[in-house]
Chains A and B, each alone.
Chain A
Amino acid sequence: EVQLVESGGGLVQPGRSLRLSCAASGFTFDEYATHWVRQGPGKGLEWVAGISWNSDNIAYADSVKGRFTISRDNAKNSLYLQMNTLRPEDTALYYCVAPRLRYNWNYGAYFPHWGQGTLVTVSS
């Protein structure tokens, strides 16, 4: 069974940093792209960033580009999101998500696998 477990969320002041982690199990992590998706309180889903299985392809939403960095450690079956210069509008539940298809970066970017999310609150 695929499991994605996020951690690292919390309350942080504007302008500070936070690093999220996602521990993956139940599948061959190094064969799949993985992504972060967030959902602000009472709001819809917003894709944040994605990384291919070998880290050759990385993409960011315009709202976080230059502030957030996505990375992965295949040896540890883990995905990360380094979030710098946080803003109140970054307040959200952050989900780690994985696709169905192996070795696919584009047309297979849909997500049957979601973690339960980790909550990030940016407030003074």
Chain B
Amino acid sequence: YVLTQPPSVSVAPGQTAWVTCGGNNIESKRVHWYHQKPGQAPVLVVYDDNDRPSGIPERFSGSNSGNTATLTISRVEAGDEADYYCQVWDSSSDHVVFGGGTKLTVL
């Protein structure tokens, strides 16, 4: 199972950023999202399509429909600049699958 993400997304501070994750019938899977800043371990920001772990701001939300899942970051801040990865469990192979990652640049 392959997850496809755009290599980069740019957004101005205060605007909304959308990071997409494409996969065949991805809506049938639960999608999870991580961000990773340089030199740090990844951090889970959204799980099960649209749930947030404690401590993650409400500005982070997710959706999943058809062949595309989307991470939405509202009111983007400079501190949101990071690499973002989507992830699913592929039940047909018992494999965890990560997308290739998207670098979010805050202009």
B-binding segment of A13-21, A70-78, A81-89, A105-113: A105-113
With contacts A106-B89, A115-B41 taken as known, whether A47 is within 8 angstroms of B96 at the C-beta atoms is yes
CB <8 Å contact, A47 and B97: yes
CA distance A96 to B53 in the complex (A): 19
In the complex, what residues of A have CB within 8 A of residue B60's CB? none
CB <8 Å contact, A44 and B85: yes
With contacts A110-B32, A114-B41, A117-B41 taken as known, whether A44 is within 8 angstroms of B95 at the C-beta atoms is no
Q: Which of B43, B96, B99, B100 makes the CB contact (< 8 A) with A109?
A: B96
Chain B 31-62, CB-CB to A under 8 Å as 1, else 0, gives 01010100001111001100001000000000
With contacts A106-B94, A110-B87, A112-B44 taken as known, whether A45 is within 8 angstroms of B30 at the C-beta atoms is no
Chain A interface bracket (under 10, 10 to 19, 20 to 34, 35 or more) = 20 to 34
Flag whether A123 is at the interface (Cβ < 8 A): no
With contacts A95-B41, A114-B42, A115-B41 taken as known, whether A107 is within 8 angstroms of B94 at the C-beta atoms is no
CA distance A91 to B97 in the complex (A): 19
Q: Which of A45, A95, A110, A114 makes the CB contact (< 8 A) with B101?
A: A45
Interface of B: prevailing SS: strand
Kindly identify, within residues 62 to 107 of chain B, every residue whose CB is under 8 Å from any CB belonging to chain A.
83, 85, 87, 89, 91, 93-101
Most chain A CB within 10 A, of B85, B93, B94, B99, is at B94
In the complex, what residues of B have CB within 8 A of residue A37's CB? 96, 98
CA distance A34 to B11 in the complex (A): 36
Chain B interface bracket (under 10, 10 to 19, 20 to 34, 35 or more) = 20 to 34
Can you name the residue of chain B whose Cβ is closest to the Cβ of A105?
Answer: B94
Flag whether A61 is at the interface (Cβ < 8 A): yes
CA distance A107 to B90 in the complex (A): 9
Can you name the residue of chain B whose Cβ is closest to the Cβ of A113?
Answer: B44
With contacts A95-B41, A111-B44, A114-B42 taken as known, whether A44 is within 8 angstroms of B89 at the C-beta atoms is no
Interface residues of B (CB under 8 A from A): 30, 32, 34, 36, 41-44, 47-48, 53, 83, 85, 87, 89, 91, 93-101
